[in-house]
Amino acid sequence: MEVIIQPTKEAAANLVARIISKEVRANPNAVLGLATGRTMEAVYDLVAAMHKQEGLDFSLCKTFNLDEYVGLPGTDPHSYRYYMNEHLFQKVNVDVRNTYLPDGTAPDLDAECQRYEDNIKRFGGIDLQLLGIGRSGHIGFNEPLSALLSRTRVKPLTPTTIEQNQGLFDKPEKMPRRAITMGVGTILDARRCILLATGAEKAEIIAKAVEGPVTSMISATALQLHRRCTVVVDESAATKLQGCDYYRWVFQNEPEWQEFLS
Ligand code: F6R
């Protein structure tokens, strides 16, 4: 795992957008794993601008989102399908038929989860998985005690997550209590993971996720087991990390990051 500390949340989002752009240019058929949430909005704005201004081409890409609320159809403005259409898919040239999210309205949710796993496999697995982190330590909606080998399934949401997200619903009680989420094991199968966290409210959980012991109580700690995971944070989210000097040195000096320094 490596940690990149950027001065502002804008700079952090910009770095992640540049990593995505590099991946898509190098591999036009890339299979992208996508996340929703407030943190990602800035990334998608930048990626959409790269499409418009620099011709970043998504026409051959496939996308798989991490999660979807149970019970919400894609036409519901609170669904993650709706979020993705609004923030990214309608702004770039991805073929909407190549964009996958779990169907939270499927009559047989277990079958839907299996179908989702099968589809990821069918396209050869995820090349680059984008992740945010919740205050409960979740990646996707892998709430505390998610097995580190878990696969796509239905997960009940914790009170922390309900509190974190219910403000986004016009009526808080409308927020579903369950979601379909890729499992921790599904996420760990991605060839590369990028976790973005910004803001002071993420500082404590980021320190636990990056520097704490691996535990299913904080599913993001499982990323310590991943072969190629980059955590991008702004200064506010980095305040509780112990190893900042070392992380900064690595970013400034390792050849891989030279092109991202300016
Ligand atoms: C969303 C997802 C979640 C969010 C996390 C952070 O698809 O998988 O893990 O990334 O809850 O959300 P924000 O960015 O709103 O703080």
CATH code, domain with 159: 3.40.50.1360
Q: Whose CA is nearest to atom 11 of ligand 1?
A: 134
Q: Is any atom of ligand 1 closer than 6 Å to the C-beta of 202? A: no
d(CA 218, CA 108) in angstroms, rounded, equals 28
Q: Is any atom of ligand 1 closer than 6 Å to the C-beta of 137? A: no
Residue 32 pLDDT more than 90? Answer: yes
Convert the pLDDT of each residue in 72-111 to its tens digit: 999 999 999 999 999 999 999 999 999 999 999 999 999 9
Q: Whose CA is nearest to atom 9 of ligand 1?
A: 140
Residue 209: which domain range? 2-133+146-260
140 found inside a domain = no
CA 132 – ligand 1 centroid, Å:
5
7 found inside a domain = yes
Q: Is any atom of ligand 1 closer than 6 Å to the C-beta of 35? A: yes
Q: Is any atom of ligand 1 closer than 6 Å to the C-beta of 146? A: no
Among 39, 45, 152, 175, the mutation site with the greatest number of ligand 1 atoms within 8 A of its Cβ is 39
- Residues 117/151, Cβ–Cβ less than 8 Å: yes
The number of domains in the chain is 1
104 found inside a domain = yes
Q: Which residues neighbour 131 within 8 Å (Cβ) at sequence distance 6 or greater?
A: 35, 66, 139, 140, 187, 193, 194, 195, 196, 220, 223
139 found inside a domain = no
pLDDT band at residue 246 using 50, 70 and 90 as cut-offs: very high
Which ligand 1 atom lies nearest to the CA of residue 35?
7
Which ligand 1 atom lies nearest to the CA of residue 199?
16
Taking CA atoms, 193 is separated from 23, 82, 115, in Å, by: 12, 24, 22
- Residues 199/205, Cβ–Cβ less than 8 Å: no
pLDDT band at residue 47 using 50, 70 and 90 as cut-offs: very high
Which ligand 1 atom lies nearest to the CA of residue 165?
15
Q: Whose CA is nearest to atom 10 of ligand 1?
A: 132
pLDDT value, residue 262: 75
Taking CA atoms, 47 is separated from 6, 99, 167, in Å, by: 18, 16, 26
162 found inside a domain = yes
pTM of the model: 0.98
pLDDT value, residue 178: 98
Give just the sign of the alpha carbon dihedral 231, 235, 238, 243: positive
Q: Is any atom of ligand 1 closer than 6 Å to the C-beta of 181? A: no
Residue 224 pLDDT more than 80? Answer: yes
